[in-house]
Amino acid sequence: MGAAAPNGPAADMAPAATSEVDLGQVPELDDSSLDDLNLDMLADDEPIADPVVTPVETPEQAAEPEPVTEPEPRAEPLPKAPRTTAAELRSAVEEARTAFAALQGSPEADIRPLLRQTYPVLAKLGETAAFAAPRGDEWQAANDLLRTVIAEEETLSMLGRVGGGWLKAPARDNNGVLLVGTVKQMHKQGGYHVTELLIPGSDQAIAVYSDMPPREVHPPGTQLVVMGAVIGDPSGELEGYDGDADYVVWQGLAEQTAAP
């Protein structure tokens, strides 16, 4: 008599006895359920999307600072303007100092012709200072000379009257200018600092432009002396200009006079 078959869990894990399968007993597949299946979705040539991987930030990456974006370089205010050197400014100061000393020492009878000779030299100093960079000892010398001119109140008044005619002259020796006038207002326009100056003999204020902030804000009514360069076509020569004036003045030097 053979041994009895084991019972319990061990019996469930035992491999089934091998027997032959009768293929004739396998029912046929009912494929009616495949009619609505989109087989294109199962095409072999469809790419398989890569899994989305979230990068892990290491402590070194977290501590790395963000790159600093450098500011855009500022456009050249007067790209067509000449550039003057320190030596040229030094020479212009010496010529202006000599001319003004001759004017101070002249007899009153000779003052008018000397004014006509001195003014263009002072104007040239204004033009040279307007286009000079960087500002060093020569610049300080030019400022000192301007203060000397301002101290001579009567002579300064005459130079101011000559300045009004100089601006209207059909031909000038240079594009410099010395203006004595009264501040109408100061404001910013197109990134520039603008002083509107009323001068004797002119009903319209002259716009004096600068790309540097003023050392002090001058309230309306302040008497100011400006030396600079006349810009005859500001729309075409002054970068970012959005006005309609026939000309403006590019500031070289500016000083307030003593209160009247």
Q: Each residue of 215-234: pLDDT tens digit?
A: 888 999 999 999 999 999 99
Quick check: 18 pLDDT over 50? no
The single-letter code of the amino acid at 188 is K
Structure tokens at 26: 């396998």
Q: Find how far residue 188's CA is from the centre of its chain.
A: 13
Instruction: Give Dmax over CA atoms of the chain in angstroms.
Output: 161
Quick check: 41 pLDDT over 60? no
In 38-48, which positions are buried (b, 16+ CB within 10 angstroms) versus exposed (e)? eeeeeeeeeee
The single-letter code of the amino acid at 192 is Y
Q: Per CATH, which fold does 86-256 belong to?
A: OB fold (Dihydrolipoamide Acetyltransferase, E2P) (2.40.50)
Give the position of tokens 């790309």: 211
Rounded CA-CA distance 99/93 in Å is 10
Rounded CA-CA distance 96/147 in Å is 13
Closest CA to 123 of 228, 207, 250, 205: 228
Averaged pLDDT score across all residues of the chain:
79
Quick check: 73 pLDDT over 70? no
Structure confidence by residue, pLDDT tens digits, 129-141: 999 987 789 999 9
pLDDT at 135: 76
Stated as kind and residue range, the H or E segment containing 184 is strand 176-189
CB 93 within 8 A of CB 148: no
Quick check: 29 pLDDT over 70? no
Instruction: Assign 260 a pLDDT band (cuts: 50, 70, 90).
Output: low
Instruction: Assign 19 a pLDDT band (cuts: 50, 70, 90).
Output: very low
pLDDT, average across residues 42-50: 45
Instruction: Assign 108 a pLDDT band (cuts: 50, 70, 90).
Output: confident
pLDDT at 57: 58
pLDDT, average across residues 195-208: 90
pLDDT at 243: 87
Strand-pairing partners, residue 207, are 196
pLDDT at 202: 79
Q: Name the pairing type of β-strands 223-231 and 176-189.
A: antiparallel
pTM: 0.70
Structure tokens at 62: 């977290």
pLDDT at 42: 36
Three-state DSSP string of 169-219: CCCCCCCEEEEEEEEEEEEEECCEEEEEEECCCCCCCEEEEECCCCCCCCC
Q: Is the peptide bond before 134 cis (omega within 30 degrees of 0)?
A: yes
Quick check: 74 pLDDT over 60? no
**Domain boundaries along the sequence of the chain:** 86-256
Instruction: Assign 193 a pLDDT band (cuts: 50, 70, 90).
Output: very high
Q: 237 or 68: which carries more pLDDT confidence?
A: 237
Q: Which long-range contacts (CB under 8 A, 24 or more apart) does 212-217 make?
A: 214/186, 214/254, 216/256, 217/186
Give the orientation angle of helix 137-151 with respect to helix 111-130, to 10 degrees.
150
